[in-house]
């Protein structure tokens, strides 16, 4: 909380309607000091009430509103942190003061009547002054004693405008003027301090506003730069994505074709590989079984048809097994080729997606490589595959 807010809060503590007009209190300490001054001023009344019990009526009425003020100060300090309770205490206190004022029993030290009676207490005695102020406040009292009659007489003369009335009025005005001058000077100093604090606070606010304005301008410029950079990057990314999408559409059929072809050659390769192993096993087993059945005699006793059967079995079995092996190797080669093409196409698309794709000349070279004709994968073998081919090759050379 700033000093200006604290001063404003302090100046609006409470305002009371008294016999001489409104009185504003800025703090509880100020009210306590004023209360002590009032008690000190009316000490003669307390002395007169002690000397004559019948003269105590005026003091009881005055002391009653003294107690109201003292009770308010104590309760306010006790509940200073409870705003709702403070409001209730202030409301009850003002009602008590207003009721006492309406009865005409509230009199303060700045009232001309109080000044007249205090001077009377110095000239005569306190008891006569107590009876006089009781008559001025219309407080009923016993008038059977000489001092009571004397006090009533002085009060009557005062009301009729005796010289002492003018003196009391002048003294009251002088005291009130002095008090108001003191309060004015105090308020003037307070307002001056508030004005200086306000000027300083306005200066700080202007400086903060200027700094904030500069920070906002810097942040705005930074955000605009970042935004423009982001737009450029986004446009480039979108352009790369669009280009990649177009290329992907153009190459999607190729990717699908070579992927399917790779899967087909993979299946055929495994089936042919298994078949090759099975044929090799059957050829070897059949040859051994036929040799066991047909060749159980010496070499000189072997019949030619038996040798022909063995030659046919070995030639056919080896030829089929070798053919199956060639088909396996061919599918392996074709599968590898299809896998390489799929990988190359996907790598090419990834490079386009990142915006680092090849140039037009390089692009044509890559596409030519991707769409080159594929070979069968068969491995050319110049060696004889069977005994029949071996004999044929020997006879042809001769």
Q: Do 243 and 392 fall into the same domain?
A: yes
Question: For residue 377, what are the domain limits?
Answer: 236-397
Q: Does residue 379 sit in the same domain as residue 274?
A: yes
Predicted confidence at residue 8, as pLDDT, reads 41
Domain annotation covers residue 211? no
Report the C-alpha gap between 95 and 84 in whole angstroms. Answer: 17
Are both 156 and 240 inside the same structural domain? no
Is residue 132 situated within a structural domain?
A: yes
pLDDT in tens, the chain (398 residues): 444 444 444 445 788 888 888 888 888 888 899 999 988 998 888 888 888 888 888 888 888 888 999 999 999 999 888 888 888 999 998 999 898 888 888 888 888 888 888 888 888 888 888 888 888 888 887 777 888 888 888 888 888 876 555 455 556 556 656 666 666 777 777 788 888 888 888 988 888 888 888 889 888 888 888 888 888 888 877 777 766 665 665 566 667 777 777 787 788 878 877 887 887 787 777 767 766 665 565 555 556 666 676 677 777 777 877 777 787 778 778 778 878 777 777 777 676 665 555 666 666 766 676 666 666 555 555 444 554 555 555 555 55
Asked, for residue 362, whether it belongs to a domain, the answer is yes
Residues 6+ apart with CB under 8 A from 22: 15, 16
Q: What is the pLDDT of residue 357?
A: 59
Which parts of the chain are beta strand (E)?
A: 14-18, 21-25
One domain for residues 139 and 271: no
On whether residue 185 sits in a domain, the answer given is no
Q: How far apart (Å, rounded) are the C-alpha atoms in residues 391 and 398?
A: 11
Widest CA span in the chain: 187
- Supply the pTM of this predicted model: 0.44
Say whether both 114 and 245 belong to one domain: no
Judgement on whether residues 255 and 348 belong to the same structural domain of the protein: yes
Q: Specify the 3-state DSSP secondary structure of 120.
A: helix
Q: Select from 114, 136, 160 the last residue of a domain.
A: 160
147 and 27 assigned to the same domain = yes
Query: How far apart, in Å, are the Cα atoms of 43 and each of 19, 36, 48?
Result: 19, 11, 9
Q: Are residues 241 and 155 in the same domain?
A: no
Domain end among 160, 191, 218: 160
Closest CA to 65 of 107, 24, 11, 115: 107
Are 7 and 152 found together in one domain?
yes
Answer for the pair 55, 48: CB distance below 8 angstroms, yes or no. yes
Neighbours of 262 (CB within 10 A): 19
> What are the CA-CA distances from residue 366 to residues 250, 333, 341, 362 (Å)?
14, 21, 10, 6
Distance, in Å, from the CA atom of 25 to the CA atom of 93, rounded to the nearest integer, reads: 14
Is 60 within a domain? Answer: yes
If asked whether residues 19 and 120 sit together in one domain, one would say: yes
Query: Which uninterrupted H or E stretch holds 17?
Result: strand 14-18
Number of domains in the chain: 2
Q: 67 and 35 in contact (C-beta within 8 Å)?
A: no
Residues 6+ apart with CB under 8 A from 68: 93, 96, 97, 100
Which domain-ending residue is among 137, 160, 183?
160
Q: How far apart, in whole angstroms, are the C-alpha atoms of residue 137 and residue 330? A: 134
275 and 146 together in one domain: no
Residue 184 lies in a domain: no
Residue 69 lies in a domain: yes
Residue 212: inside a domain: no
Q: Do 156 and 241 sit in the same domain of this protein?
A: no
């Amino acid at each position: 909380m700033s000093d200006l807010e604290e001063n404003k809060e302090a100046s609006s503590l409470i305002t009371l309607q008294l016999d001489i007009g409104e009185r504003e209190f800025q703090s509880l300490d100020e009210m306590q000091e004023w209360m002590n001054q009032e008690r000190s001023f009316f000490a003669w009344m307390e002395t007169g009430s002690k000397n004559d019990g019948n003269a105590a009526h005026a003091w009881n009425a005055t002391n009653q509103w003294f107690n109201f003020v003292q009770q308010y100060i104590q309760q306010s300090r006790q509940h200073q942190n409870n705003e709702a309770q403070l409001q209730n205490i202030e409301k009850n206190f003002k009602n008590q003061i207003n009721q006492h004022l309406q009865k005409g029993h509230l009199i303060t030290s700045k009232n001309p009547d109080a000044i007249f009676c205090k001077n009377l207490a110095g000239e005569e005695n306190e008891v006569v002054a107590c009876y006089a102020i009781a008559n001025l406040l219309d407080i009923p009292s016993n008038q059977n004693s000489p001092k009571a009659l004397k006090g009533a007489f002085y009060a009557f003369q005062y009301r009729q405008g005796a010289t002492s009335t003018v003196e009391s009025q002048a003294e009251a005005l002088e005291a009130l003027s002095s008090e108001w001058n003191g309060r004015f000077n105090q308020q003037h100093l307070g307002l001056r301090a508030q004005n200086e604090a306000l000027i300083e606070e306005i200066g700080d606010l202007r400086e903060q506003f200027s700094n904030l304005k500069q920070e906002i301008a810097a942040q705005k410029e930074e955000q605009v730069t970042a935004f423009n950079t982001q737009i450029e990057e986004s446009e480039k990314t979108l352009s790369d994505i669009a280009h990649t999408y177009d290329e992907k559409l153009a190459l999607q059929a190729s990717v699908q074709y070579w992927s399917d072809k790779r899967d087909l050659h993979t299946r055929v390769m495994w089936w042919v590989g298994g078949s090759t192993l099975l044929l090799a096993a059957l050829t070897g087993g059949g040859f051994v079984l036929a040799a066991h059945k047909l060749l159980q005699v010496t070499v000189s006793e072997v019949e030619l048809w038996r040798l022909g059967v063995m030659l046919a079995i070995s030639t056919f079995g080896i030829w089929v097994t070798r053919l199956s092996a060639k088909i396996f190797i061919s599918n392996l080669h074709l599968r590898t080729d299809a896998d390489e093409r799929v990988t190359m196409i996907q790598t090419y698309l990834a490079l386009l997606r990142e915006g680092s794709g090849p140039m037009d000349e390089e692009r044509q070279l890559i596409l030519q490589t991707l769409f080159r004709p594929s070979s069968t994968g068969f491995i050319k073998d110049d060696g004889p595959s069977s005994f029949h081919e071996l004999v044929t090759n020997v006879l042809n050379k001769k």
